[in-house]
Amino acid sequence: MEVILIKDVDNLGGVNELVSVRPGYARNYLIPQKFALEANESNKKMLAERQKVSQKREAKLMAEIAKVTEVLKQSPVKVGAKTGTSGKIFGSVTAIQIARAIREQKGYEIDRRRISITEEVKELGLHKASIDFGKEHVVEIEFEVVGE
């Protein structure tokens, strides 16, 4: 029996996916628990429409990600840090500081949880961080740590 999944189901599939399962599993578990719909003609048409809308939304999101990526890669973001006389930083640079610098210098609000710093930043100079926009869209940016 073919069903259209409404929610993600472990070991079966994701949202808006057409899968084939045993009739008892569909009738007794998936459909009553609101995990799936029966794959009749009207539901298949609704699925096709949802996928079309989803593709448009994905294309719009990709365009926005490309625009943000272009702006972030133009020049490194400058992050200020307090330093000692030898050029070492007191503490280390965090994702919060990078997110704040991006917001102030580039004008884009990026959640700090999406930023990951590849190595521990303890010195002045250029360093790398990556931003995860979701769905395998990871962008690596450079940031420069400068003394305050």
What is the reported pLDDT for 135? 74
Structure tokens at 22: 């045993």
Closest CA to 99 of 118, 114, 80: 114
pLDDT digits (tens, 9 = 90+) for 8-40: 999 998 888 999 999 999 999 999 999 999 999
pLDDT band, very low/low/confident/very high, at 87 (cuts 50, 70, 90): confident
Say if residue 65's pLDDT is above 90. no
What's the topology of domain 67-147?
Ribosomal Protein L9; domain 2 (3.10.430)
Q: Does the domain made of 2-64 have the CATH classification 2.60.40.10?
A: no
Assessment of whether the complete model's pTM goes beyond 0.75? no
pLDDT greater than 90 at residue 121: no
Per domain, the residue ranges of the chain are: 2-64, 67-147
Q: What is the mean pLDDT of the chain?
A: 88
